[in-house]
Amino acid sequence: MKTLLPNPDALSLSELVAQMVVVRASGFLFDHEIRYPVWEPTAAVLQHYVKDLGVGGVILLGASAGEIALRTQQLQTWANIPLLICADVEEGVGQRFSGATWFPPPMSLAEIAQKDLTLACHYAEQMGKVTAQESLAIGLNWVLAPTVDVNNNPNNPVINVRAFGETPEIVSALATAFIQGAHSHRVLTTAKHFPGHGDTEIDSHLELPTIPHDRDRLDQIELPPFKAAIAAGVDSVMSAHLQIPAFDPNYPATLSSKVLTDTLRQELGFEGLISTDAMIMGAIANNYGTEESCILAIEAGADILMMPVEPEKTIQAVCDAVESGRLSRDRIQASVERIWRAKQKVCLTPTSTEDPHAWEGSPSPALETERLTQQLGQSNTLNAEILRQSMKVHRPNVPQVSHGRNLIIVDDLVDCDFLTRTAPAIALPQPFGFTQTEIIDRHTPAIHTDDYAAFPTLLQLFIRGNPFRGIAGLTDSAQFWFDFLLQKNQLQAIVIYGSPYILDQFVPKLSQNIPYVFTFGQMQSAQAIALQTLFSA
């Protein structure tokens, strides 16, 4: 087999190490629009990372799909070696970048699978296909999906509805279908978070969770979906920031050779890219430090360092570890060769030669934003089918009042892009008499209920897991208003968007004459379908 880097001196040590680094960047082109300045560099610094340091990839967040197309072109123009450009698009490209298709969370397919696994697998395959197609249309070549964690803990704040279900059989089937669909286009796919983040109640964005189960349990529940993903040809596997004593009592999975090398590489036979989860996350950064954690991850077997806190210092620290003999150059070279194979797959243009190095000088792939627009009709139809098939409805009567309250509760209204002035959650209840719209989030000051006017109320709750906040279940505000409206006999109907575990908690308390609708989606298409169902004659 011909090596992809026949001359080890073709790149300097720092250039080799830089290829292992993926930096976070805003999708917005202008610095004043950056939303997370602690994590997202200015354009000048980003250009330095890409052009001067030669980082291997960029992960994007924020902006519209159209602006992302411009951003990815800009990034590839800066790069001397084509970049892997990725995003967390587990629910479709529109989850992160407005204008593209935003599917309901993967757990919606698990709901369908309980009734018709064949249909659910069809939807999963189509979801993978659309996600890959729209990614390529705007310049993304690495899809950070599917999530193959088995969410068997309802209190899980970080996985929750991101999972394809609560059993390894359903998760394996749906994840396999998603990967097969995505591979109909030239993108990389990712199974995450190895060896399984489904049974935690601690958010690894904030702290280090522990999975206490023995190896037999891990073999039965956590590992089968990863085995299925590998069998389906998944291109990369992302590690979990978890302490799992059954594998390694000393190091979390991301930093454990027993997990990444002994188990994933050798036991499961995975030959693709191993990526860390974001190295800025508290589970790692707060316990192991910026530079040491990255060295430990490479020692453990990681090929990609995802979002290190300080990329330049990270590259230098890894180079120093090689110079000191702690890491070998061969170890770095092995990772870069895997990166080369991945880039060869997604960076070659159709007119490129068979030369395995042709991608290094090949032009950036042509963007196809017009095709994205043309195919939105089909993807919107698929989206609506999944939403309707996974919805839960109890509608003993049609709620219509002369003057009622539309009470909407969200976690944080500032980051609530799906509640615009014309959003269905606001506009659709009005013709049915729910004209007094009130929106409450965790920042809303406490209201003295003694002075709260009595109105028949439609309660709409937007609740799902919130990474970086550690929230999986009911907020205090949502619980209070649900109980208050029931006690005062003001609750006319309830719509829940997001977590099915919230519905499970509420239904036993509802009388049979109160209608409800549950939908996994929170986007405006989900709002429209849910409310049209609720108010339909």
Gap between the Cα atoms of 280 and 296, Å rounded? 15
Active site residue 277: yes
Which residues does 217 contact at the CB level (< 8 Å), separation at least 6? none
Gap between the Cα atoms of 18 and 99, Å rounded? 33
Find, among 431, 421, 476, the residue nearest to 458 by Cα. 431
CB atoms within 10 A of CB 357: 15
- One DSSP character per residue, 380-419 reads HHHHHHHHHHH-EEE-SS----SS-EEEEE-S-GGG-TT-
Beta strands in 276-321 (DSSP E): 305-306
**Amino acid in position 476:** D
According to DSSP, the residues that pair with 237 across neighbouring strands are: 191, 274
CA distances from 331 to 264, 272, 321, 391, 470 (A): 17, 15, 11, 49, 36
Cβ(519)–Cβ(104) under 8 Å?
yes
Q: Which listed residue (248, 277, 303, 441) is catalytic?
A: 277
Q: Counting Cβ atoms within 10 Å, is residue 180 exposed (0-12), middle (13-18) or buried (19+)?
A: middle
Gap between the Cα atoms of 464 and 159, Å rounded? 10
> In this structure, what token pair is assigned to residue 90?
């587990």
Gap between the Cα atoms of 422 and 425, Å rounded? 8
Which residues does 170 contact at the CB level (< 8 Å), separation at least 6? 110, 113, 114, 117, 120, 164
Gap between the Cα atoms of 37 and 50, Å rounded? 18
SS3 (DSSP) at 50: helix
Gap between the Cα atoms of 15 and 389, Å rounded? 50
Which residues does 97 contact at the CB level (< 8 Å), separation at least 6? 27, 60, 62, 63, 64, 65, 67, 68, 87, 138
Q: Which listed residue (205, 235, 303, 441) is catalytic?
A: 205
User: Mind telling me the catalytic residues?
Assistant: 205, 277
